[in-house]
Chains A and B, each alone.
Chain A
C-alpha cells in the first residue's frame, strides 16, 4: 500500500509538472508567436531596407539593458486590445497610446497640444474644424494612414451608439466629416462644445479602416482585437496572466520627428499586491512602479528610489479626491450645513497621516495644479475653507444645528437626529484611512459621521443610484480643460442612475447653465474660460454641494540602475507614468527621453 501510494504520488507530481509546463505556454501559444512573426514580416515586405529577416524571430529572453520593467497600470490579466472597450484597457495599458494613436497628444505640464497624427488642426470658422494629417503616416502593417482612416473612425461613433464616443455626434455637435484631400478633413459642427471636442482630440484612438471596415458591430464594440495593428511606437509582442510585453516598432513613422523610444521591450507587470511591487523596486527588478506604495517617502529620502519631487509631496497630482454629498438627503440638502462640514474635515491629517505626505491638499476650486490658472484667487480667499473645528461648530450653531439630547452630536434645527455615513470601497487602504479621519474630525465638530467600507460593487451601485450619504470619488483625471472636472461635479440632467458624475444629485439650473456655457467657450478664449470658471467656483463654494479634499498622486517611483534621464522637478518635461490614458499625456515622451544607464 505504501509503495502504491508512492508511485501514485510520483505519477501525480509528473502529471502536474507536465500540466504546469503546458500552463504558461497556453497563454502565448506557439500559434500566436507565429502570428507575431507574420506581422513583423509584413512590415519588412513594405520597408525592405533596414532589417534582415533572420533578426525577426521573436526572442525568448529580453536583454536587461534593452528592456523597461514597469508595473502599476494593470490589475488583472489582459483581456482586450480593442481601443474602444471602455474601462477594460488598463490591463493592457499601451493599447491606446503605444499601439493606437490620436490626432493630438496633450502635455498637461505646459497645457499645450502636441500635433501627433495631425500636423495641424484649427477652427476655420465657429462651426468648422479643419484638421491636416502629417504626410507619410503608416500603420504597423505597412499600409498608409490617411484622412480616410480618421473619417472612418469618427463615423463609427455615428453608426454605433454603443461606442463610448458616440456622443461626439449626439452631444458635442459634430454633424459631418468631409475629406478635402488625402490628408485634410473638414469637420462640420452645429453648436459645438469646444472644450469637449478638444478632449476628444487626444482621447479618441484612430483605427485602420482597411482592417475594421468589414467587422460586425459586435466585433467592433465587444471584440477582443487580438494582435492589434496600430500606428504607434510599439507593437504587441505577447502577454501572460501577469504581464504584457510590447516591442518597439522600428518602422514607426514618428522616429524621425519625435525620436526613437529608448527601451526596445516594455514588460508591464501585474503585481498582486503593493508589497510585491515594493520588493521588486528595491531589488531593481522593476524600473518604474506606478503603484501607490505607502512608505515610499522613507525610501525616497534614503535614496533607494527616485520620485518626481525630492521632497513632499514627492508625486505630481493626477486627480482630485472629492467628497460628494448626497443633496437629496437631510441635512445634506442644507448649504449651510454643507459649508460647516467643509470646515470640519481635517484635511491636514489626511495629507500627513493617511498619506504620509505623499499628496497635497486640494484647492477649494477642485482644479488640479496643472489647471491652477483657472483658480479665481479672490473667490477662493473670500469663500474657501480650511480645517477649523471651532469655526465649523460656530457655523453649525448659527445655522440652528444644536445638540439637544446631549449625546455630543448636533441635531437638525427641526430636532431630528443626524446620523451620516461616509463610504469608500473596501480594500482601498489610503481612502479607508482618509474617511476614518473625515469621520473622526467631523465628530469632533459635533457632526455624527461614521465611516463604512462596502465592497467595490456595492459602493459603485450606491454611488450611481444615489443611496449613499457621502462618498469619495476621483474620476476626473488630468485634462486639457477645467470643464472635465466641473462636468464630473455638476453633470446633468439628473437621472435615475447617475453613472458619470454629480453623484450627490445636486440640482441647480444656474450651475448647470454655467457648466454648459463653459463647454461652449472656444479654448483659445482663456479670458472667457477664466470668467466662466470663476462664476462656477463662486456658486460652488457658496453652495458647497461637493467638497474637494486632496489631490491623489500620479504615483511613480523608479530606480536608475538600467534607465536614466527620468523626468523630475528639475527636468519637468513629461510625466513618469504608464497608466492607461496617460501615454498621450507625456508617458510616451518619457520613454523617448530615457537613456541607458550603461552605454552599450
Chain B
C-alpha cells in the first residue's frame, strides 16, 4: 500500500513540475508582448520616448526585462511563496485575486450541473439499457442532446425562456439592480439567474453520461460473468448490481476528470448567458498575452487534473477489488 502511494505521489510530483514548466513556457512562445498590449492605447499625446520609458518601467515591474532563465527561477520562487504575480490584462489586480473572484461562479454552476447530470445520466442510462421502450426513447434523445452544439442550445434556451417567455433573466449572476446581501430576495434572485446556464450544462452532460452508461451496461450484461451468473440462476437484481458496479468505473474516471478542470470555467456558457466566470477571463488573458493570468489559471487546472487523478486512484482502491488485489500482489 505504502509503496503504491509513494510511487503514485512521486509520479504526480514529477508530472506537476513538468506541466507547470510547460505552462510557464507556452505563453512566452506566443507572438505578442503583454506590456505593449497593456500600453497600446496610451496614444493621447505622449511622444515616443515617453512611451518607451513607460514600457521599461512596466517591464521592470513585471520582471520581464530579465533573462528568461532568471524569470523562470523567479517564477518558482514566487510560486512557493504563494505569489502568482499580477495580471497585466486586469492590472493591477493580483492573479490570485482574479481567480478568487471568478472561480466561485464557475463552481456554483459547474459542480451541481456536472454531479447532477452524472447521477441522473448514469441512472437513466442504466435503466434504459434494460427497458426496450425507454431505450427507444432515451437513446435517440440523448444522442440529439450530446450532438447539439452547445452554443446553439444555449442561445435557444436564452431566447425562448429569456426573451419569448420572459421567465428567466438572460444576463448576469444576479439582478443588475441588486447588491449582494444575506436575504431571501438575493438568494432567490441568484438561483433565478443560475437556472438557465445550469440547465444548459446539465442537458448536454446528461446525454453524454446516459449514452455511456447504457452502452456499458449492455456490454456488462453480455459479459461472461453475467451469463455465468444467469446460468447459475442468480436473481436478475444481483446480476444487474454487478453489471452496474463494473459499468460505473469508467464513469467515475470521467467524472473526476470533468471536476478537475472546473477552474477552466465554462467559456461558452459564460459568453451565451453573460455569466461571470474564469473561462471568459482566460480567453481574454490568452488574447492579451497576460502571462501571469494564463499561468495562474493553468496552474490550477493542472492541480485540479492531478488531484482528480489521485482521487481516482484512491477511489479505485475502494471500489475496484482488482486494484486492491494488484497492490497486495505487488507488495508480496
Contact = CB atoms under 8 A, between A and B. Distances in A.
Contacts of A569: none
A280 interface: yes
Interface stretch (A41-49, A270-278, A301-309, A397-405): A270-278
A74 to B, nearest CB: 11
Given A20-B105, A273-B271, A458-B31, A280 B170 contact: yes
B179 A58 contact: yes
B173 A241 contact: yes
Contact of A273 (B159, B172, B177, B272): B272
A132 to B, nearest CB: 23
A29 B246 CA distance: 48
A69 B39 CA distance: 29
A266 B181 CA distance: 20
A213 interface: no
A458 B187 contact: no
A76 B281 contact: yes
Contacts of B74: none
Interface string A355-398: 00000000000000000000000000000000000000000000
Contacts of B44: 164-165, 199, 203
A21 B30 CA distance: 37
Contacts of B89: 76
A457 B46 CA distance: 21
Contacts of B104: 19-20, 22-24, 26
A72 to B, nearest CB: 13
A461 B32 contact: yes
Contacts of A216: none
B158 A279 contact: yes
A79 B39 CA distance: 15
Contacts, number: 271
Interface residues of B, number: 88
A9 B115 contact: yes
B93 A224 contact: yes
B173 A242 contact: yes
| Size band of the interface chain A makes with B | 35 or more
Interface string B44-72: 11111111111101100100000000000
Contacts of B105: 20, 23-24, 241
A161 B50 contact: yes
B187 A21 contact: yes
Contact of B30 (A270, A283, A458): A458
B54 A162 contact: yes
Contacts of B158: 276, 279
B145 interface: no
A258 interface: no
Interface in B260-313: 270-276, 280-281, 284, 286-289
Contacts of A223: 92
A459 to B, nearest CB: 8
B119 A9 contact: yes
B163 A16 contact: no
Given A63-B177, A164-B44, A280-B170, 4 more contacts: A61-B179, A76-B284, A267-B176, A457-B31
18 contacts: A12-B115, A19-B104, A21-B187, A24-B190, A76-B284, A86-B39, A164-B46, A196-B45, A203-B44, A203-B45, A238-B179, A269-B172, A270-B274, A456-B32, A457-B33, A458-B32, A461-B31, A499-B48
